[in-house]
Amino acid sequence: MITTQKINNYIDKIPPAPLALKKTIFLLNKGELIQAAKAAQSDLALKAYLKNLVNKAVYGFKNEVSDISQIFGILGVSGSQQAVYNYMISLLSPSKWQLFKLNASSFENLQANLSKKWQMILAHLEIKDKDIESAITLLPASIIVSEALFCEKIEDVNILRTAKALDYNTILQRLCNKDLFDICEQISIKWEMPSKIAQIVQASSGVKPSENEEIDKLGKWMHLLLFYELSQAQNIEAGLNDFIDFQVEYIGDIYEAFSTLMDIA
């Protein structure tokens, strides 16, 4: 059994934040976009990450965008906060993935695709909330934590996968008594996110519906998005499609709307 303390110890490493990064997040939380861009400018690694992120194909810009003020202006407060959270996660990403067939580039693509499509969903639902927009960053974060935890018990993981054909989320629960979404909640607490964010992520498991109608609706959309993205060819090859069990009954009432929206993407 992997203890809760071991999970907490690993999560405590998120993020190893330098002063410029802390200042950037603080200013974004206050909605001060121009000052946040100035703070981010002094962190060369953050600057390089944001430039690489916003110039990915999913954002659809024909000309390269390199100026931080311009990047933050394009993304807005919510998108910039989400991008910085994604950067914080990338700092924890392993130099070499062992269980999942990922690398720095493919992991960043996963982050970017989840982020951009979550923004589309929130725009479709007419929800403008920077904390809810940033909630999607927790899912890639928990994949990194899971990779680290699984690698400590790699033989047990492989046995369970081979003998019982269990999804990774169930294996995680057996090894840690916590699943992917519990880890997301721990990270949200670490980042001092509002409690509604943990509730949305827990609802997105598909097996922990919320009694709050609005939170449950967001949980359904997030569950579908996660399954949709992890079912893409590159993520199937990486082994991520076996992470969660798709709860088709949970999302039945929004499936058609989701499919239509993804066809537009």
Domain ranges of the chain: 17-91, 96-264
Quote the pLDDT of residue 94.
Answer: 85
Quote the pLDDT of residue 36.
Answer: 93
**pLDDT tops 90 at residue 192:** no
Q: At what angle do helices 104-124 and 255-264 cross, to 10 degrees?
A: 120
Angle, alpha carbons 222-225-230 (nearest 5°): 125
3-state helix, strand, coil in the chain (%, to 5): 70, 0, 30
Distances (CA, A) of 144 to 28, 45, 58, 150: 25, 20, 22, 10
pLDDT, tens digit (0-9, with 9 covering 90-100), for 120-177: 999 999 998 888 988 998 888 888 888 888 887 788 887 877 766 778 888 888 888 8
**pLDDT tops 60 at residue 186:** yes
Query: CA-to-CA distance for 82 and 93, rounded, in angstroms?
Result: 17
Distances (CA, A) of 51 to 40, 116, 130: 12, 15, 21
Mean per-residue pLDDT, 54-72: 84
Residue with the larger pLDDT of the pair 91 and 67:
67
